[in-house]
A and B are shown apart, each in its own frame.
Chain A
Amino acid sequence: DAGVTQSPTHLIKTRGQQVTLRCSPKSGHDTVSWYQQALGQGPQFIFQYYEEEERQRGNFPDRFSGHQFPNYSSELNVNALLLGDSALYLCASSWTGAEAFFGQGTRLTVV
Chain B
Amino acid sequence: AQTVTQSQPEMSVQEAETVTLSCTYDTSESDYYLFWYKQPPSRQMILVIRQEAYKQQNATENRFSVNFQKAAKSFSLKISDSQLGDAAMYFCVLGQGGSEKLVFGQGTKLTVNP
Contact = CB atoms under 8 A, between A and B. Distances in A.
B62 interface: no
A1 to B, nearest CB: 15
Contact of B106 (A42, A55, A101): A42
B103 interface: yes
Contacts, number: 56
Contact of B100 (A31, A43, A44, A58): A31
B43 A88 contact: yes
A108 B40 CA distance: 19
Interface stretch (A15-23, A62-70, A89-97): A89-97
Contact of A41 (B42, B102, B107): B107
Interface string B20-47: 0000000000000001010000111111
B102 A104 contact: no
Interface bin, chain A: 20 to 34
A48 B103 contact: no
Given A88-B43, A104-B43, A56 B107 contact: no
A31 B99 CA distance: 9
A94 B47 CA distance: 13
Interface of A: 31, 33, 35, 41-45, 48, 55-56, 58, 88, 90, 92, 94, 96-97, 99-105, 107
